[in-house]
Structure 1
Amino acid sequence: MSEKPSVLFVCVHNAGRSQMAAAWLSHLAGDRVEVRSAGSAPADQVNPAAVEAMREVGVDIAAETPKILTFDAVKASDVCVTMGCGDTCPVFPGKRYIDWPLEDPSGRDIEAVRPIRDEIRKLVKGLIDEIAPEAKP
């Protein structure tokens, strides 16, 4: 792993789970970890319920936009995390691949998105403990 670890969160639409995970990692680890998110079929916008759920905890993702998954993004990342959505990353030697089985927030109201947001936070904190322990929140 490089001096400053890099993480790529991948979900098909890059509109909910992967956006929340990237925001949590940036929020909790600061500039000690390089963060990316992408999807194989990006949506037009970030899920409004995900935006609202993150806003409730003081993390603003309203300006984020879904991005296309590229070989370069995977190649530049030390850890690639898929979000239980069936999306896959190109495989490069030396990369760590993780799948977090998370419910899809798409089409759900804020009440249903909150537990997903909280589970993602828990998983991100565990990842920070593994890859950048000095960045513990």
Structure 2
Amino acid sequence: MMPKIVGVLALVFEVSFVPLAMAQPAPPVAAEPPSATPNAQHRVLADWRHKATGQDLERVYPTEARRHHVEGIAMVACKVTKDGDMADCIVEQEAPQGQGFGAAALALMPEFKMRPMTRNGLPVDGGTMRLPIQFRLPR
């Protein structure tokens, strides 16, 4: 009998984006704070409309890793669309390598939906979400 899988989603999410203030030229100032510099990254709490569940993690858990009782983690980076979907996702890191945790994390990304960034009250594409996904077996 296969062990039941307990999925754990990390509680810290990172969103990186260029501040909207950079989209329009600002008048010169004596000293700009670091957050107003081009390509600045901000860490903000994710505003989720929907997140993957433990059942979703169980569905994508790599078969061989499960069979050999291997746990792992994958860091996935995705762009956030104006619809709040994760797009153009890539695996930045996975451990242990070669066990399929990166591919499993990518398969999980359609389950995540965010409230998108807005400009003038309308949703816009923008931001990069970095999402650590932990795969754990029951103890």
Shared fold per TM-score greater than 0.5 = no
Larger radius of gyration: 2
- Structure number with higher helix proportion: 1
Larger RCO: 1 or 2 (CA < 8 Å, sep 6+): 2
TM-score normalized by structure 2?
A: 0.26
